[in-house]
Structure formats: structure tokens, C-alpha cells
Amino acid sequence: MSFSLSELFALHHGLPRQGPGSDETTARLLALAGPVPPRPRILDLGCGPGRSALVLAAATGGHVTGVDLHQPYLDQFLDSADRAGLRAQVTAMRCSMDALPFPDRSFDLVWCEGAAYNLGFATALDSWRRLLAPGGVLVVTEIEFTGTDPSPATVDFWAERYPLRYPDDNREIAAAAGYTVLAHHRLPEADWWSEYYDPLLARVSGVDTAAAAEVRAETELRREHGADYDYAGYVLRPNRTDKTPMWTTRPETPADRAAIHAVNAAAFPTAEEADLVDALRADSQAWIDGLSMVAVAPGGEIAGFALITRCEVGGEPALALAPCAVRPEYQGKGAGAAAIRACLDAARHLDENLVVVLGHPEYYPRFGFTPASGFGVRASFDVPDEALMALSLDASRPTPAGVIRYPAAFGV
């Protein structure tokens, strides 16, 4: 087995999938994951050309962030999303699945078809757990022995390539990583062929390279010894281990206005922020319905608040996150973060992109904010470089640069 990566990528370029699977299987695994919240936040790791990502976006109406290392696959993913009319529901991100820049608990579904082997099943399960929001589910497909005694040909072939385990071993790994296995679903044989091996074989026909030979060897093994091994989907729910209160987040309603005023008045030394929120609400240029978010405590009280309003950067529309407030008795328990996350998600759903925030440089990076100077974004007043931060909600689109113009109510 020795072939160059570029040779391999050339062979695989433009194929519908880069591993066994089918739209039907993706839909089936989604059903096995149980009910998902409306407009779920979904992360598809090693998304490749994006087949599963598009099924998930279409089926849930949610937003799918597809992550892959290989830019041509991401381009293919975005093109397909365009054609399917799903472009607004997807984000493509080029980064490694072992260095994900997302905050904890930021996805309702974490998905990975035919790609967890890049990290190894155990490492993948262990490191992705933190990404799941309360109630979230992880779905991973993994190649494994079927359980019957595998033939020496199968054992030898995979010994050189990837450590296959038995389903019981994988269940044990899942349990050790803190998950309950909600379902274990074997992919049907057709999932290996119709969108993966068949198009790949057609492409290597007559090709005499090491990579082509590898494709032929792998498919031959499947044909002759397919009963020895399978791809299986694991549907996994993290066991609850902490006592963190579950904040419910939702956009403000007219009935919340007094409570929101009170939260801001309680959180800050003066009523300035509370009044600012009321002034922004009255400014139709600044206010965007749905981007004033409350975090509600289990008892029903509004504990946290986050607001995003329209600003301009370099004369182009952008968003400003401010103010964020938590009632003193609830501070340090995640209510503010819950409100901010919900606010950013809602903005992403509205197809917004650049968000600026002026705040604590220790706090906002957990949401993905980095110094605004890196975006070429500046304030019109004096501010320490690290306190002015910005975030791109869709890294695949350009962001404006220049000076921020805040809504008049900010008085800056």
C-alpha cells in the first residue's frame, strides 16, 4: 500500500460519497436519533462532498455545519447545497475534526459518516462529547467485524489498514466514553456499492496505479468476504453526569419586556443598559425581531439575556452583540452563555455573518470570537485591541471590514 494523496484525491474527486452510505441510511439514522428540536444545530464531521449534510438539512430544516480538511469536497458540498436550494442552511468549514473551534454544547446533533476512523472511534467519541447540547445525540458510522469468525483474508487485509473491532468492543468503548447506545444499525450491502464502490470502480477501470490497485483489492475483499465485516451506525446519547441547570432559551415576547429591563438593571451598576435595550427596541433600523434572546430558569424566571442589533461595518450591514446580562443570583451558571449561543444561532439562521462584540477577552472566545483587528474591523473610539472582538457566522462567506457604526442609542 503506497500511493500519493494527490493520486487518491484525483480518483475520488466528484464522486457522490467518500464512504459507504446512502440518503436512506442517513434518514434512518436520523429517525433512530429520536425527536430533534426545531431547526436543530447540526455538525457533520468529515462531511466530504456533503451527501449526509444535505439530507440532514432538508429533513430537519436545521443548520448543518460541514467540516472537512479537503477543500474540493467542501466546494462540492456547497455546489450541491446551492442546487438543492439549501445553501442558506449550510456552512462549510475547512478544519480538522481533532481541533474543532466550537464551544461546548453547541450542537443538537453531531454526525459523522465514514470518517471517524481518521481519529479512531474511541478518540472521536471521547472528544466530541463536549459539543453536544443538552438532549443532543451523536451519530457515527464505523467499520467493524460482524461477529462471526472473520476469515484470515479479512483479518490480514484490515490489520495493515485499520483496527476493526467487534460490535461488543465498540459498545464498550461507547459506554466508557459516557454514552448510552440508543441504536446500532448495520448499513445494507447496497450502501457499499451504489454510491461508493461502483462509481469508484468505474473510475479505476483500466487505470494502472497503486491507488487503483488498492481500490480493486478493497472492493474484491468486500465481494468475497463481506460477511466478515460491516459498516454500522451508532446512535449515541451522552449520559448526564452534571447538575448544570438546563436553561431554556427563546426570543423575547412583548410580555418579557419588563423582566428584561429588570435583568439588565440588576446586572449592571446603573440603569444605562436597561434603558439602552428599550431604546434599541424602539429603533426600527437597529432592531431585528428574533435576536433578543432570554434564558429562562427551570422555575420560569428570566435569568439571562442577550441582544444582537444591526450595526454597520465599513458601511455594510453587520451585527453587534450587546448587552448581555444575567441576574446576579444566576451568574456563573451558564445562563448568559445559553442566551448568547441562542442569539448567535438565530442570527446564523437569518443568514447574517459578521458579529462584533466589545467585552471581556476571557469570555467571548468560547463562542468563537477573535480580535476584531483580524477581520480589519475597528471602533471609532479608543478600545484595547483584545476587547473588541468579531465572529463570522459563516466562514465560507466574506465579511465586511472597516469602522463600526453602532446604532444611535449606544451614544458612541
Question: How far apart are CB 143 and ligand SAH at their closest, in Å?
Answer: 12
Q: Which of 46, 73, 42, 75 is nearest to 59 (CA)?
A: 42
19 binds ligand SAH per the rule CB under 6 A: yes
- Residue 224, all three cell numbers: 468475497
| Residue 308 vs residues 112, 281, 349, 406: alpha-carbon distances, Å | 32, 11, 13, 11
Instruction: Say whether the peptide bond before residue 323 is cis (omega within 30 degrees of 0).
Output: yes
Backbone angles phi, psi at 28, to 5 degrees: -65, -45
CB nearer to ligand SAH: give 203 or 257.
Answer: 203
Which residue of 30, 40, 42, 48 would you call a contact of ligand SAH, by CB under 6 A?
48
Stretch binding ligand SAH (CB under 6 A), from 41-49, 155-163, 267-275, 388-396 = 41-49
73 binds ligand SAH per the rule CB under 6 A: yes
CB nearer to ligand SAH: give 98 or 189.
Answer: 98
Q: Cβ–Cβ contacts within 10 Å for residue 26, how many?
A: 23
CB nearer to ligand SAH: give 21 or 334.
Answer: 21
Backbone angles phi, psi at 370, to 5 degrees: -130, 165
Which residue of 27, 118, 146, 181 would you call a contact of ligand SAH, by CB under 6 A?
118
90 binds ligand SAH per the rule CB under 6 A: no
CB nearer to ligand SAH: give 17 or 348.
Answer: 17
237 binds ligand SAH per the rule CB under 6 A: no
Which residue of 81, 115, 357, 377 would you call a contact of ligand SAH, by CB under 6 A?
115
CB nearer to ligand SAH: give 60 or 141.
Answer: 141
Rounded CA-CA distance 309/299 in Å is: 28
| Residue 407 vs residues 107, 275, 402: alpha-carbon distances, Å | 31, 14, 16
CB-nearest residue to ligand SAH: 48
Which residue of 67, 78, 211, 294 would you call a contact of ligand SAH, by CB under 6 A?
67
Stretch binding ligand SAH (CB under 6 A), from 110-118, 152-160, 299-307, 319-327 = 110-118
* Residue 90: alpha-carbon gap to chain centroid: 10
CB nearer to ligand SAH: give 46 or 304.
Answer: 46
Stretch binding ligand SAH (CB under 6 A), from 14-22, 85-93, 275-283, 398-406 = 14-22
60 binds ligand SAH per the rule CB under 6 A: no
Q: Are 306 and 321 in contact (CB under 8 A)?
A: yes
Which residue of 4, 71, 96, 180 would you call a contact of ligand SAH, by CB under 6 A?
96
17 binds ligand SAH per the rule CB under 6 A: yes
Which residue of 47, 293, 296, 388 would you call a contact of ligand SAH, by CB under 6 A?
47
- 109 three-state secondary structure: strand
Q: Which residues bind ligand SAH (CB under 6 A)?
A: 17-19, 21, 46-48, 51-52, 67-70, 73, 96-98, 113-115, 118
